[in-house]
Structure 1
């Protein structure tokens, strides 16, 4: 696996001539922590973070100030061939929330965020466990059940009030994408139960 399989694309970028106001709007609209700054053709020339924009907006106002005036010109980036471990090392070592990915010409082709890396480094069963657990806690408003997932097969253990509740729990669990089977209290539940 390499950066090309981890990164988010298409990339939202700005140019040095983009106003602070427009860059702020992009960050807010997309929920990003930073934006790569590219010149015409897509070559990476800087990065502007939410902090850079916030400081500028509070200090002197967004007015006619451009991204080129506040961007960081020293940018840490990664090649398309970087492994998830290399990406994580770069992000942790430089305390980055996002990392631009560039091709051989230095053009931005993607961005890797912390959540992109977590998604790759977290096993699917763990993600499914968290989803089922959250769903069951929302249903019962307590932590009555223990959830374990192996190979997409969800096992829920703990007390059930009655058969109707067992059916509700089984139906809820089946709403989670990727579930291939449900076991309640050690008993497999078929689709008709």
Structure 2
């Protein structure tokens, strides 16, 4: 796996001539933490973060300022061939929130966010366990059950009040996309009386 398989595209970019008001609107609209700044040909020349825009919007009204006046030109990027380990190193070593991905000519072709990288580094069973645990906690308002997942098969262990509650818990767990089987207290849910 490499950056080309992890990155988000198409990438939203701005040019140095973009006003900080327009750049701020893009950040808000898309929920990004930063935007790559590119020349008209798409070559990466900087990055502008929400903090950069906020500081300059408050300090000077931001009306006439452009991205080129507030962007960071010491931008870190990664090639399409970067591995998840290399991407993680870039994030951790530089305290980044997003990382532009560039082709051999330096043109921005995608962006990797921390959540993009976590998504590929976190095993699916762990994600499924977290979803089931969150659902069961919302149902019972307690943490009386433990959840383990292997190959999409969910095991819920802990005390159940009665057979009806076992059935409710089994039904709730089956509503989570990706669940392929349910066991309650070591007994397959289909075998529960």
- State the TM-score bracket (shorter-chain normalisation): over 0.9
Displacement of 1:191 in angstroms is 9.8
Displacement of 1:49 in angstroms is 0.6
Structure 1 segments of 4 or more deviating over 6 A? none
Cα separation, 1, equivalents of 2:191 and 2:100 = 45
Distance 1:68 1:166, change over 3 A: same
Alignment of 1:150-169 (within 5 A): 150-169=150-169
Equivalenced residues, count: 193
Superposed CA offset, 1:57-111 (max 9, x none): 1111120111111011121100000000000111111111110000111111111
Structure 2: segments with no counterpart, 5+ residues: none
What's the RMSD between the two structures over aligned residues?
Answer: 1.5
**Alignment correspondent of 1:137:** 137
Q: Distance in 1 between matches of 2:31 and 2:185?
A: 41
Q: Following the alignment from structure 2 to structure 1, what is the Cα–Cα distance between the partners of residues 192 and 174?
A: 12
What CA distance in whole angstroms lies between the structure 2 residues aligned with 1:140 and 1:185? Answer: 17
Counterpart mapping for 1:23-102 below 5 A: 23-102=23-102
Unaligned runs of 5+ in 1: none
Aligned to 1:123: 123
- Tell me the residue number matched to 2:12: 12
Shift of 1:177: 1.4
Q: CA offset at residue 190 of structure 1?
A: 2.8
Alpha-carbon distance change, 98 to 15 in structure 1, aligned in 2, over 3 angstroms: same
Segment drifting more, 143-152 vs 158-167? 158-167
Provide TM-score, normalisation by structure 2.
Answer: 0.96
Residue 27 (structure 2) pairs with residue 3 (structure 1): no
